[in-house]
Structure 1
Amino acid sequence: MNAGASAGQKAAALRVQAVPRGFKRRVLAAVGMDREGARLQVDAGRWEAGKEGEQRTAALLTPLGREGWAGFYDRRIPGLDRANADHVLVSPGARVFMPDSKLWHARARVRVVRGRLMHGDVDKDRQVDGALNEARLIGQAIGAAVTPLIAVHNAPVDNGGFILRGVPVVPADRLVELLRRNAGAPTPGAARQLALRADRKLPRYVEGGGR
């Protein structure tokens, strides 16, 4: 399991870039005006939140491994240079799921407003389109339908979860329950072959290297 590895690498790289170098940036930093450094620190914080969300989800998914599920973490998405799949799961029934982890603050609800995904007043709708596109590309690579899901940590989700444009959006603590309900009847041979294909077609994602 390597959940959150690439997000952690990206955050660490941004923290290094945020250290002021050169006379001008050191002077600006000394008087609290290094805007570039501040921006990089904020970006690093976002990547660190992503890493934490992925690791929390991976911990929740651990029991599924004992139930015959195959899990692949932090994998490249064929056809996309700068995107990775947080988690790709193959059920004992040879069904494929792609949970996308989101660690959003608890001060606002996750809801649908006029057909768009919102976290409070912040439009998050591109997350739905992104999940659909990533699932499509993974499905093409492994030759199987892939169901995307958005698992939300911290922030409350309206109605305990909902489906938007075919993508379930659920509180993270309901994710495993939802996956178990939709695992399908066990087909060990087909599930094993599909897991082997997923592992082969979706290599590990390394931030900044060989994509």
Structure 2
Amino acid sequence: MNAGRSAGERAAALRAQAAPQGLRRRFLAAVGMDRKGARLNVEAGRWAAGEEGERRTASMLVPLGREGWAGFYDRRIPGLDRANADHVLISPGGRVLMVDSKLWHARARVRPMRGRLMHGDADKDRQVDGVLTEAEMVGKALGIAVTPIIAVHNAPVDGGGFIVRGVPVVPADRLVELLRRNAGRPDPAEARRLALLADRVLPRYVE
């Protein structure tokens, strides 16, 4: 399982860049003034959080594999050079759902506000734009509608979950329940066909 691998490698690369090289940057780091290093470390922290969120979600999804679900993790999305799908899931009923994992701090609530996704006072609506675009492109590659879901770790989610612009936003501990409710009637032949197709047209993001 490759869940979170590309995010982890990106975090490691940024931390390597953040390490002070040369006399000037080593001096700036020693006196706490290495702005470049600080910026790179902050960015690396975001990627590391992404890696951890993806790994946590993948662990939660393990029971679904025993129930006939197929899961594809950290996959390239045709037509989107710099985007990857965290988790593409195919239910035993041949439905395709795409889960985007978020690991956000618990000091603020995740909530909708005037049709936008917020985490405390931080506007996170770009995350909704991203997952909608990714689901659309995955759907084009598979020839079927794809349902996007945002699963939030750590941060409390208003109302135990809500919908923003058609995208369910749920606390991670409710994700499996939501997926099971949307599995559809069993259709083993269609589920198998889609799983084979997904493995072919959605290559691994990191080899």
Q: What pairs with 1:42-191 in structure 2 (closer than 5 Å)?
A: 42-191=42-191
Deviates more, 1:76-85 or 1:167-176: 76-85
Amino acid at match of 1:193: R
Distance in 1 separating the partners of 2:127 and 2:92: 28
In the TM superposition, residue 186 of structure 1 has moved relative to its aligned partner by 0.5
What SS class does the counterpart of residue 199 from structure 1 fall into? helix
Distance in 2 separating the partners of 1:111 and 1:132: 18
State the Cα RMSD in Å. 0.9
In the TM superposition, residue 128 of structure 1 has moved relative to its aligned partner by 0.7
What SS class does the counterpart of residue 74 from structure 1 fall into? strand
Amino acid at match of 1:43: E
Amino acid at match of 1:112: P
Aligned to 2:193: 193
In the TM superposition, residue 115 of structure 1 has moved relative to its aligned partner by 1.1
What SS class does the counterpart of residue 80 from structure 2 fall into? coil
Aligned to 1:33: 33
| 1:5-27 deviations in Å (ceiling 9; x for gaps) | 00000001011101111222112
What SS class does the counterpart of residue 81 from structure 1 fall into? strand
Matched positions, count: 207
In the TM superposition, residue 67 of structure 1 has moved relative to its aligned partner by 0.2
In the TM superposition, residue 81 of structure 1 has moved relative to its aligned partner by 1.3
Distance in 2 separating the partners of 1:136 and 1:64: 24
In the TM superposition, residue 160 of structure 1 has moved relative to its aligned partner by 0.5
Amino acid at match of 1:8: G
TM-score scaled by length of structure 1: 0.96
Unaligned runs of 5+ in 2: none
Q: Which runs of 4+ in 1 moved over 6 A?
A: none
TM-score scaled by length of structure 2: 0.98
In the TM superposition, residue 29 of structure 1 has moved relative to its aligned partner by 1.2
Distance in 1 separating the partners of 2:195 and 2:201: 10
Distance in 1 separating the partners of 2:187 and 2:95: 10
| 1:48-73 deviations in Å (ceiling 9; x for gaps) | 10000000000000000000000000
